[in-house]
Amino acid sequence: MNLNALWAYANPKKFIQTTDKVLPWVSVLAVVSLIVGLVWGFFFTPDDYRQGSTVKIIYLHVPSALMAINVWLMMLVTSLIWIVRRHHVSALAARAAAPIGAVMTLIALATGAIWGQPMWGTWWAWDPRLTSFLILFLFYLGYMALWEAIDNDDTAADLTSILCLVGSVFALLSRYAVNFWNQGLHQGASLSLDKEENVADVFWYPLLVCIAGFVLLFIALVLLRTRTEIRARRMRALLARERMG
């Protein structure tokens, strides 16, 4: 498939038609892999020899944290597409993704706190990773608030896209600034593909399924919310036309 074929989906009608077929599959796959991954992770993996059963929260914590960052990246890409090529579906997808990203950030923070209480002895520490997630959450809040505040759809799309670009730069800056500001309590990466010391395979496979489940869930929700937005906009247009006529 060449890249030009991708732009066909910028047509809302084509987008709705295609997602009509794709959405049920993605939703079912998301539910199945979430159930399989979580049940496998919670009930069919051994307890860690030091952390006991608390280790099992990684099946929620890691995928949600991963999504929290990648949703923002996806918003950055769709914002860029909106600025450069002005495809409405792209802007709507960014708008649809933001609340999901915010919830993912919140899940990551909450599960982290629940795990941190027995393990670190504290709900919250001003650790670089925790802090940058809190800042990321604030960025999500600001982004969503700006969408809500502006009446004109195109203006809102333009302004939020630029905010997303500027915000990305500053979010990245903050990430490294907090690293400098305080030493970490959070463990380093243990899921890298190229490192020797990774999580053991017994935990790794169910975790992979969970990550896949979260990704699919996100795709399903974004498609659903984008479709809703497109239809809501169409409805508004129809109502406006009726009032005119």
Partner 1 sequence: MIALLIRDLRLAMRAGGGFGLGLAFFLIVVTLVPFAVGPQSDLLARIASGILWLGALLSCLLSLDRILALDWEDGSLDLLATAPLPMEAIVTIKALAHWLTTGLPLVLAAPVFGLLLSLPAPGYMPLIVSLLLGTPALSVIGTFGAALTVGLKRGGLLLSLLVLPLYVPILIFGAEMARRGVDGLDYTTPLLMLAGITCGTIALLPFASAAVLKVNLR
Q: What is the 3-state secondary structure (H, E, C) of 13-34?
A: HHHHHHHHHHHHHHHHHHHHHH
Q: Is 153 in the site for partner 1 (CB under 8 A)?
A: no
Question: What per-residue string of b and e applies to 223-240 under the rule 16 or more CB within 10 Å gives b?
Answer: bebbbebbeeeeeeeeee
How long is the chain? 245
Residues 62-121 that bind partner 1 (CB under 8 A): none
Amino acid at position 231, single letter: R
Q: How far is the CB of 129 from partner 1 (least distance, A)?
A: 15
Q: Contact with partner 1 (CB under 8 A): which of 39, 73, 166, 237?
A: 166
Site for partner 1 (CB under 8 A): how many residues? 25
Considering the complex, state which of residue 114 and residue 146 has its C-beta at the smaller distance from partner 1.
Answer: 146
Give every CB contact of residue 232 below 8 A, 6+ residues apart in sequence.
Answer: none
By CB under 8 A, residue 146 contacts partner 1:
yes
Q: Please say which residue, 57 or 178, places its beta carbon nearer to partner 1.
A: 178
From 178, 210, 222, 223, residue interacting with partner 1 (rule: CB under 8 A): 178
Report if residue 138 touches partner 1, rule: CB under 8 A.
Answer: yes
Q: Are 108 and 61 in contact (CB under 8 A)?
A: yes
Among 8-16, 67-75, 113-121, 161-169, the segment contacting partner 1 (CB under 8 A): 161-169
Cα gap 74→40, rounded to integer Å? 29
In a 10 Å sphere around its CB, with 0-12 CB exposed, 13-18 middle and 19+ buried, how is residue 220 labelled? buried
- Among residues 163, 185, 191, 212, the one that binds partner 1 under rule CB under 8 A: 163
List all residues 6 or more positions away from 44 whose beta carbon is below 8 Å from its beta carbon: 206
> Is residue 158 a contact residue for partner 1 (CB under 8 A)?
yes
**Distance from C-alpha of 89 to C-alpha of 14, rounded to nearest angstrom:** 11
- Nearer residue to partner 1 within complex by CB, 170 or 204: 170
Which region among 54-62, 104-112, 155-163, 221-229 touches partner 1 (by CB under 8 A)? Answer: 155-163
Residues in touch with partner 1 (CB under 8 A): 135, 138-139, 141-142, 145-146, 149-150, 155, 158-159, 162-163, 165-167, 170-171, 173-174, 177-178, 180-181
